C-alpha cells in the first residue's frame, strides 16, 4: 500500500486501528488472531493490517521502528499508539476503548 492510498482510507473512515507487522515477526504472528477476532467486535472501526515490508513510505511517515506497532486514528489524527502486541483480546479491547 502506498501513502496516497492510506490517506484516502483515513478520509473514508472516521476511526481506524492500524497494526504494522510482518510475516516473519513472532510477536506479530501471536497477535494476528487477536487483531482479527477483535475487528469483528467493532464494526464501526476500520481495522487495517499493514506489512512493514510492503509499506515503507507509510512506516516512515508514522516513524514505525518496532513491530508490532498499533496506531488508533481518528481521521488523520493519531489518538494513541502502542509498540508491542497484547497478550489477550481483553487487553486489546481495553486499549481501543480507553
Instruction: Parse the chain into domains and list their residue ranges.
Output: 3-97
Query: 20 pairs with which residues across the strands?
Result: 50, 69
What 8-state DSSP symbol labels residue 86? -
Residues annotated catalytic, as ranges: 25, 28
Element (H, E) at 72: strand 69-74
The Cα–Cα gap between 22 and 40 comes to: 21
The predicted-structure confidence for 9-49, as pLDDT tens digits, reads as follows: 898 888 999 999 999 999 999 999 999 999 999 998 999 99
The predicted-structure confidence for 73-91, as pLDDT tens digits, reads as follows: 999 999 999 999 898 999 9
**pTM > 0.75:** yes
Name the CATH architecture for the domain at 3-97: 3-Layer(aba) Sandwich (3.40)
In what side-by-side order are the strands of the sheet with 15-21? 46-51, 15-21, 69-74, 77-83
Amino acid at each position: 500500500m502506498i501513502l496516497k492510498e492510506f490517506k484516502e482510507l483515513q478520509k473514508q473512515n472516521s476511526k481506524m486501528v492500524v497494526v504494522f507487522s510482518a510475516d516473519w515477526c513472532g510477536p506479530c504472528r501471536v497477535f494476528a488472531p487477536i487483531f482479527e477476532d477483535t475487528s469483528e467486535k467493532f464494526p464501526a472501526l476500520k481495522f487495517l493490517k499493514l506489512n512493514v515490508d510492503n509499506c515503507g513510505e507509510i512506516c516512515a511517515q508514522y516513524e514505525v521502528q518496532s513491530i508490532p506497532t498499533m496506531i488508533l486514528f481518528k481521521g488523520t489524527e493519531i489518538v494513541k499508539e502502542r509498540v508491542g502486541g497484547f497478550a489477550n483480546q481483553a487487553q486489546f479491547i481495553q486499549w481501543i476503548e480507553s
